[in-house]
Amino acid sequence: MKVTILYGPRDVRFEERDAPKIIKPTDAIIRISATCVCGSDLWPYRGINKVNQPTPMGHEYCGIVEEVGSAVKTVKPGQFVIGSFFVSDNTCPHCQFGYQSSCQQREVVGGAQAPLLRVKLADGTLVATPEVPSGDLIPSLLATSDVMGTGWFAADAANVKPGKTVAVVGDGAVGLLAVLSAKQMGAARIIAMSRHETRQNLAREFGATDIVTERGDEGVARIKELTKGIGADSVLECVGTQESIMQAIHSTRPGGHVGYVGVPHGVELNGQQLFFTHVHLHGGPAPVRRYLPDLIKLVWNGKINPGKVFDLTLPLDQVAEGYRAMDERRAIKTLLLP
């Protein structure tokens, strides 16, 4: 089979590799129905994270179970399943507390931009849909594998509640779905920070009530202006740069919450500055597995349509163009069909 391999900065190849096999009795092999390029795939693609060896890419996936190991009990061949970017046993203390992305047995998923994927710890990791879905549901189900779950965690970690004022830093797929999540959780006011018109429009469609185009200190000043000088109750940070994290912290009212899900790159916080902001900080790699059953239900029942973030669909063999389009910000997110 042919799979996606990153060799170095902007060098994505689609190459022949052996098909994965069951190695441990807890494994499953799934035939990928759809996969996609993640914003976090762009860090190594751009050379910001070093690529030391040819690396199979892709960690967002859904598809049909092809084969399971002898110990797998909760999923079976023929089922349509979705999993997160970390495998987890779903039984250890951290999983029990709802932090499956800190599972004692967690391992990062790689190689999902391929026709077949081996998923370890299948029982703990994979969630099956009620039936095999129709094709129109697949983009939104795929989104629950990462971006939707990550946006949801940003909102949950930032304590979004009915009636609250929320600001979202970042207009990538996660930021847009953080807007959708805040709307679902009943936020009264949702301020999306974006300077791109197509992204602003999607943010409005997902529930944003205000758009702020300014960044950094000017962005903070606009949020203050819009909230009578108080700041937002909840700020959802979906970028991971020094500027975006500081923008999030300073846009939050004293006593408010920052949910941060952008993987930090080169971020340093000043302890004393942080001390006097009085904000709650909660973030990290989203425990998507905790949210998967509920998010799948919301998609299945037509309550949310997070698949709208995919504005480019390509056959898997054109994966390199999928990366380029996102790198050049011609696409928000690329859906890939094997």
Min. distance of Cβ 268 from Zn ion in angstroms?
Answer: 25
Q: Which is nearer to Zn ion, 105 or 213 (CB)?
A: 105
Phi and psi at residue 134, to the nearest 5°: -75, 160
Nearer to Zn ion, 104 or 273 (CB): 104
Question: At 326, is the secondary structure helix, strand, or coil?
Answer: helix
**Cβ 112 to Zn ion shortest distance, Å:** 10
Nearer to Zn ion among residue 89 and residue 237 (C-beta): 89
String of b and e for 13-37 (b: at least 16 CB within 10 Å)? eeeeeeebebeeebbbbbebbbbbb
What does the binding site for Zn ion look like in residue numbers (CB under 5 A)? 38, 88-89, 92, 95, 103, 146
Least distance CB 92 / Zn ion (angstroms) = 3
- CA separation, residue 281 to residues 165, 215, 257, 277 (Å): 17, 20, 6, 11
Smallest distance from Zn ion to CB 20, Å: 20
Contact 173, 308 (CB under 8 A): no
Q: Which is nearer to Zn ion, 257 or 289 (CB)?
A: 289
* CA distance to 28, 33, 44, 112, 139, per residue, from 5 (Å): 22, 19, 12, 11, 23
CB of 126 to Zn ion, least distance (A): 14
Using CA atoms, how far apart are residues 30 and 218, in angstroms rounded to an integer? 47
Nearer to Zn ion, 212 or 312 (CB): 312
Q: Write out the DSSP string of 108-161.
A: E----SSSEEEESSHHHH-EE-SSPPPGGGHHHHHHTTTHHHHHHHHHHHTT--
Distance, CA of 175 to CA of 261 (rounded, Å)? 9
Query: Phi and psi dihedrals of 91, rounded to 5?
Result: -130, -20
175/286 Cα distance (integer angstroms):
13
The residue among 100 and 194 lying less far from Zn ion, judged by its C-beta, is: 100
Are residues 7 and 21 in contact, defined by beta-carbon separation less than 8 angstroms?
no
Helices (H) and strands (E) in the chain, counts: 12, 18
CB of 67 to Zn ion, least distance (A): 24
203/309 with CB nearer Zn ion: 309
- Cβ at position 88, least distance to Zn ion in Å: 5
Q: Which is nearer to Zn ion, 143 or 211 (CB)?
A: 143
Q: Could you tell me the smallest distance in angstroms from the CB atom of residue 94 to Zn ion?
A: 5
Read off the DSSP letter of residue 169: E
Task: Report the residue number, 20 or 58, with the smaller CB distance to Zn ion.
Answer: 58
* Smallest distance from Zn ion to CB 17, Å: 21
